[in-house]
Amino acid sequence: MKRTILNIAALLLLAAISEMATADVRLVEPTQTLTPSRISLSRPKTDELTIALQTGELAKKIVQDSTGEFLKLAMKGESYTQEIGKARLPVIRRIVYLPEGSEISVRLIHTTVETVNLEEIAGHLPISPAQPPIPKSSANPNRPFIMNREFYEKDTIYPENPVRIVGEFQMRNHRGVIVEICPVRYNPKQGILSVSTDMEIGIEYTPTASKSSSITGIPEFDKIAQGMFLNPLEKSSTVSDSSLNFLFVVGDRFVSHPDLLRYIAWKKQKGFCVTVKSVTELGGTAVSIRNYILSAYQSQTPPAYVLLVGDVEHIPTWTGGESNSETDVDYTQMTEGDYVSDIFLGRFSAQTDSELSTIINKSLTYELAQFPTMNWQDQATFISSDDSTYYYIPESSHNFVIDNYMTPNAIASTHIRGHSGGTTANILTEINSGTSVCNYSGHGSKTAWGGPVFTVSNVNSLTNSGMTPFIVSNACLTGSFSTITCFGESWIRAAGRGGFAFLGASNSSYWDEDDWMERQMFGAYFNQKSYSIGTMKLAGLMNVVENSPDYAEYYFDIYNILGDPSIVPWFGQPRVADVVHEPVFYFGNETFNVQVNVSGTGEPNVLVALFNNETLIGSGHTDLTGAVTIPIDVQPDLIGKILVTITGVDLKTVVDTIAIKKPPIVSIEPDSVRISESTEVRVRAIDSETSQPIPNVEISLENWEFDSVVAQTDTTGLAVFSVMPRFGEKIQLIGKRSPDRLILFTGSLNVIGGIVFQQPDISASVESIGLVGSLTTDFEGIVSASCAESGIRLFVKGCGIDTSAAANSLAVTPRVTGELRAAITKSEYDIYEESIWVQKVSAQLSGVVQDSSGNGLQGVSISGFLLPDSVNATFNVTSGQSGTFSTSSQLSVGNYLIRAELFGYKLFLERLFLKCGENLTTIVMQADSGGWLSGKITETVTNLTLDATIKIDRQSIDEWISYTSVTSDDSTDGNYRIHLPYGDYRLVFSSPRHISRLLVMTVSQSELINNVSLDTTRADILIVDDDTGKRTPDKQKIISGEFYEVKSDVVIADKSPSASEFSRILTELGYWVVCEKSALSDASTWTNYDLVIWTSGSSTNPIGDDRCRMALETYVTGGRKLLIEGGEIAWKASTETTFTNFRPNVLHIESWSKDNAGDLTLMLPDHPVAIMPNSLSTIYDFTSTSFGDQDGCQVRSEAQAIYCGSGIAEYAGIIAYDDNEIPIGGQSLFMSVAFYHLGDSLERKALLENVVSWLTAPENLTKGDVNLDGKFDVLDVV
């Protein structure tokens, strides 16, 4: 593959951008279901392809690295930029087919760009930088964090171009380029995202004479290409001999090995054209062997498969240019400067004769289905890593394969999860019970899987005799076959056990890249019918090319097959085929007919091979009806038999034997007849072996005019009949033995003397679906004929059709795909005929959803039902920005019921016929009936109008869904007015420094007035949520003589329980509460509030960056009120040097003393926090779940320990600080426990009410000032 970057001119780029404005691009949490990007091909031409893109939703997540916090972005199912140290941004890569004899360029035709100010979303956090792929080489890789500081200081957009070509490759006869689309671009200095919500991209082809391939195409590569390319292939290869060419390169030691000779004979018998070469014959070096393979590849019979027989000491291997490890891939790379394989290759890695016998016997047993039992081929085993950090990646990969490919195809799958307790014993049990495929993903070494651990010794202890699976090892080093009996070799060398083939890596593999590889390996098998393990491997690697092009060459280096790459894995119990063929073969026949049925139905794509005396004499694949006419390439020997071998996917191999006989001696007189003249024809048949006449042979004529038996040979072997043809053509003459109707011979009669048609032509179309030039199944099409002559008759035969009419056109409805033949006929004229292809077709629907005024509607749910089924939707899409939508290009042609739904609009239903190709439609939604809700928002008591926000949720089936919002302010005199569709709503009225109100109401009339008054709040409180969800079950430190064992951190989904509890209680108590995430909170706004509550809860990484720490220090230095809570803050402040000032000035502690100090005991019963306004519990029960729940602290002298763990003063848990002598109000309070784990809900409410009352009470009071007006006077006397 060639790495190329094609840039777009800046002028074209600027001209293509239609809009650039600040807008509300939706960034959602990664836990939500994301809308993926949608790509469709529009207006395809011979010299240009247009890609239309609707960008999917962006997932955002704040991540912590060694240098601080970053914002991470992702799009569902897409990849990301790979420039190390620069911003890691979502990108969309697709592989585009490049026709022969052309070059390619890309241009941006149009895009709509919306800008996002990250300051409003993530504060000062930059986009996380791209890092090298994460290897599976160790459980906790000590990888340096790479950040290009110079990049993040640049005031420029990245990537520079929104679309570019990042690679070009040749895969056998298919050329492709990788198009990288960058809908998300970033200015690091300004913190601005530029998001293209929709894009239209032009791909232009320019003819060139320099790039064309003469290599014969084969279906195996076509299938991979069809699943890989965004645009369809120009044409597909037919099944040909080149797809069956097989080269054996054999180590000298094994050239005469009897089992190898048996295996080669089997491959020939199966239908492969086999060439065998020894290492010495090829020059003995890796270079000389590759040169021979290249020469064979460039010949008229290029190999599809290559099998190396012998370990590296018998056949040399290569050292990968990217991996620096052993690899055989160089033997497959036939295009100069290109790393993509052009041949499927494997290695029988045997050192000894007995090892080779073992490998061959297991391969034959598996391929021939000679199994001791037949109850395990529909079983698959998947094993996921026990890695504590990245275990979720292989678990996700395996679940995807199981859910999308195994379960729908009735394959029972076992998923052994190492992280959830899966063991070595579980693996032994599954493999010993029988499994067709076993896929492990996780850590590995040269001799074992890393976890669950499974070693060479475990392989050798297996008892799965006769049930050997295909082993896929997405792990480091397990395929290091230059090592003496590496882990992969142990599977194939284990006699009577293990596996028959192994796919593994010779160096470190990566988590993400292994995920991409695994998904497409199985996707190719079930979707593109890429069945052999060689095609599965290549398909998986091409998915790495698309998603991770910078590391794809490395992946081609490291992944090698130890086994025969042509073997097809069993996915299902072997089916039994019913084979019908001629009982004898007459020497000299040019064809041989075979019919293959399974359960009474013709089975397509079955390989049928004819083998005679170590020679393959002919082979072919069955068509859609299960029939095949095999051309005889080499006539068999008269002495011997012919083996008819039938093999197919999930079919038990069938081998029949037929006798060879000399053909009868047949004479046909005359061999030609004149048109429109009656001619007597004499046919005589004599047995060539006995010289006796053959009686009772039915003579039939078959062509456009004739299809009947015309005579039968008598006792002298003679048949006489007369023929008077009306048309000029070649009449086929067939002799069949009666009564079994075996074809004994064929011949022909040429009809001469016909007139040639002038300007004849035959065309086909299906007007109802917009198909021109071909036909499709189950839709009536028209076959039309034209010529200068009149009075013609049109014939059509094939694909379930046999009809004719004296007309220039015929209406036909094919039943199967394939080749249909049509002919123009007229008496006295030579027949003119053409072939018409009957093919599968698909439709695509795209369009726009608008309201009655023509405005685009976003978020409309659009479903399509292929009638008559109006229950099960064929497709479901959602309209994007500007109301546009697009389906996939794989819809069936036909009548659909289109259903469109959006709250506030009437249900849209319309019947629509989808033609083949692209269909465009406009959906117009009519507003539903509704009423106007209005009113005024005022302050209780004063009746002053308020600036307020009304958040409106609508009632769905079983939940409230956010619908819209409206505001009131001075410009409206506190009034609000909004039109709502009839229905039930929940309204939240809120205004700063006022208590919010919640109302539930039904809108059922045209006008509804609802005035609302809001009470003033007791105080305005900001809750800063610092709980990232990170938890540490154990930790390792030596402080005060305590030692803790290290265990890995985990991140819980139910984070921030303390923040939620704070907010709930304070809202109930009548406070105005605002909640912000710590990473997004602007410290400059904190002084707008009466109190700031900083809550880290049980997080084991509290106050994760210096910005937050310094903001808290500055805030309390300015005399502001603070409640700070967290069960691990004291620990961090006592162990990290950057917290030297934080510990005394913010927390007011000397040091951390103990984790999990126990229940909190009241130490100062007369303190205001303990008695005002509630009398608090003497003991608060404490429940611990992790080391982040509680710290016990040593209090500084200026502060007071109100509650202490276990009643011990050194284990302070609630610490109050007041900087003046008036006890009624305090300055700050530190809870060194996770608030949510204290007592019950009522006890927590009482505690928090006391704490907040103390912190928000005025401190400029005079002694005896009961009414808190700042002076002591008569008004204070009760």
- Whether residue 1261 lies inside any domain: the answer is no
Average pLDDT over residues 657-681: 92
Average pLDDT over residues 1181-1208: 89
Q: Cα–Cα distance between 1137 and 1124 in angstroms, integer? A: 20
pLDDT in tens, 591-637: 899 999 999 888 988 999 999 988 889 888 898 889 999 999 888 88
Q: Are residues 241 and 301 in the same domain?
A: yes
Average pLDDT over residues 100-116: 86
DSSP line for 712-747: E--TTSEEEEEE--SSBSEEEEEEEETTTTEEEEEE
Q: What are the tokens at 801?
A: 């059709």
pLDDT at position 26: 58
Average pLDDT over residues 1125-1151: 93
| Total number of domains constituting the chain | 8
pLDDT at position 1275: 35
> Considering only CA atoms, which of 180, 183, 202 is closest in space to residue 95?
180
pLDDT at position 214: 65
Q: Which of 257-261, 527-531, 802-806 has the lowest mean pLDDT?
A: 527-531
pLDDT at position 17: 43
Residue type at position 1269: D
pLDDT at position 1268: 44
pLDDT in tens, 899-936: 999 888 998 999 999 988 888 999 999 988 999 999 99
Residue 300's pLDDT band, with cuts at 50, 70 and 90, is: confident
pLDDT at position 1086: 95
pLDDT at position 1032: 54
Q: Which of 68-77, 226-235, 1162-1171, 1218-1227 has the lowest mean pLDDT?
A: 226-235
- Whether residue 592 lies inside any domain: the answer is yes
pLDDT at 668 > cutoff 90: yes
> Considering only CA atoms, which of 781, 783, 801 is closest in space to residue 793?
783
Average pLDDT over residues 15-37: 56
pLDDT at 233 > cutoff 70: no
- Whether residue 1274 lies inside any domain: the answer is no
Q: Cα–Cα distance between 445 and 126 in angstroms, integer? A: 37
pLDDT at 1185 > cutoff 90: no
Q: Which of 250-254, 948-952, 1260-1264 has the lowest mean pLDDT?
A: 1260-1264
Q: Cα–Cα distance between 646 and 626 in angstroms, integer? A: 12
> Is the link from the previous residue into 868 a cis peptide, with omega within 30 of 0?
yes
Q: Cα–Cα distance between 964 and 988 in angstroms, integer? A: 11
Residue 1049's pLDDT band, with cuts at 50, 70 and 90, is: very low
Q: What are the tokens at 784?
A: 């039309």
> Considering only CA atoms, which of 574, 543, 559, 521 is closest in space to residue 406?
521
pLDDT at 1272 > cutoff 80: no
pLDDT at 224 > cutoff 80: yes
pLDDT in tens, 342-363: 999 999 999 999 999 999 999 9
The domain that holds 948 is classified in CATH as 2.60.40.10
Q: Are residues 1001 and 1068 in the same domain?
A: no
Q: Cα–Cα distance between 146 and 148 in angstroms, integer? A: 7
Which of 661, 678, 705 is where one domain is finished?
Answer: 661
Are 188 and 100 within 8 A, CB to CB?
no
The residues with which 656 forms a beta bridge, in sequence order, are 644
Residue 1034's pLDDT band, with cuts at 50, 70 and 90, is: very low
- Whether residue 821 lies inside any domain: the answer is yes
pLDDT at 1081 > cutoff 60: yes
DSSP line for 1084-1121: GGGGGSSEEEEE-TT-SS-S-SHHHHHHHHHHHHTT--
926: helix, strand or coil? coil
Q: Are residues 284 and 169 in the same domain?
A: no
pLDDT at position 1277: 37
Question: Percent helix, strand, coil in the chain (nearest 5)?
Answer: 20, 40, 40
Q: How far is CA 642 from CA 94, 121, 597, in A?
A: 48, 75, 21
Residue 1036's pLDDT band, with cuts at 50, 70 and 90, is: very low
pLDDT at 534 > cutoff 70: yes
- Please tell me the number of Cα atoms within 13 Å of 1115 on its side-chain side: 29
- Whether residue 1268 lies inside any domain: the answer is no
Which of 900, 925, 950 is where one domain is finished?
Answer: 925
pLDDT at 848 > cutoff 70: yes
Strands 641-647 and 654-661: antiparallel
Burial 529-566 (b: 16+ CB within 10 A, else e): ebbbbbbbbbbbbbbbbbbbbbbbbbbbbbbbbbbbbb
Q: Are residues 1173 and 1243 in the same domain?
A: yes
pLDDT at 641 > cutoff 80: yes
- Whether residue 1160 lies inside any domain: the answer is yes
Element spanning 11, H or E? helix 10-16
Residue 559 phi, psi (nearest 5): -90, 120
Burial 496-523 (b: 16+ CB within 10 A, else e): ebbbbbbbbbbbbbbbbbbbbbbbbbbb
The residues with which 685 forms a beta bridge, in sequence order, are 666
Q: What is the DSSP letter of 1227?
A: S
The domain that holds 83 is classified in CATH as 2.60.40.3800
Q: How far is CA 6 from CA 108, 111, 547, 1117, in A?
A: 12, 19, 18, 56
pLDDT at position 1130: 94
pLDDT at position 950: 93
- Whether residue 184 lies inside any domain: the answer is yes
Residue 115's pLDDT band, with cuts at 50, 70 and 90, is: confident
Q: Which of 436-440, 499-503, 835-839 has the lowest mean pLDDT?
A: 835-839
Secondary structure tally for the chain: helices H, strands E: 20, 82
pLDDT at position 1062: 94
pLDDT at position 1040: 29
Which of 150, 184, 213 is where one domain is finished?
Answer: 213
First vs last C-alpha separation in the chain: 91
pLDDT at 184 > cutoff 90: yes
Q: Are residues 511 and 611 in the same domain?
A: no
pLDDT at 547 > cutoff 60: yes
pLDDT at position 142: 61
pLDDT at 752 > cutoff 90: yes
Q: Are residues 1167 and 1203 in the same domain?
A: yes
Average pLDDT over residues 1115-1131: 93
Q: Are residues 938 and 832 in the same domain?
A: no
Q: Are residues 263 and 402 in the same domain?
A: yes
Q: What are the tokens at 124?
A: 């000062």
pLDDT at position 18: 43
Q: Are residues 454 and 590 in the same domain?
A: no
pLDDT at 818 > cutoff 50: yes
The proportion of the chain whose per-residue pLDDT surpasses 70, expressed as a percent, equals: 90
- Whether residue 710 lies inside any domain: the answer is yes
Average pLDDT, the chain: 87
pTM above 0.85, yes or no: no
Q: Are residues 1098 and 958 in the same domain?
A: no
pLDDT in tens, 1008-1023: 999 999 988 888 899 9
> Considering only CA atoms, which of 614, 615, 616 is closest in space to residue 630?
616
Residue 897's pLDDT band, with cuts at 50, 70 and 90, is: very high
Helix 219-228 × helix 511-527 angle, to 10°? 120
Q: Cα–Cα distance between 274 and 535 in angstroms, integer? A: 19
Boundaries of domain holding 640 = 578-661
Top pLDDT among 65 and 1194 is at 1194
Q: Are residues 45 and 193 in the same domain?
A: yes
Q: Are residues 948 and 921 in the same domain?
A: no
pLDDT at 1150 > cutoff 90: yes
Residue 28's pLDDT band, with cuts at 50, 70 and 90, is: low
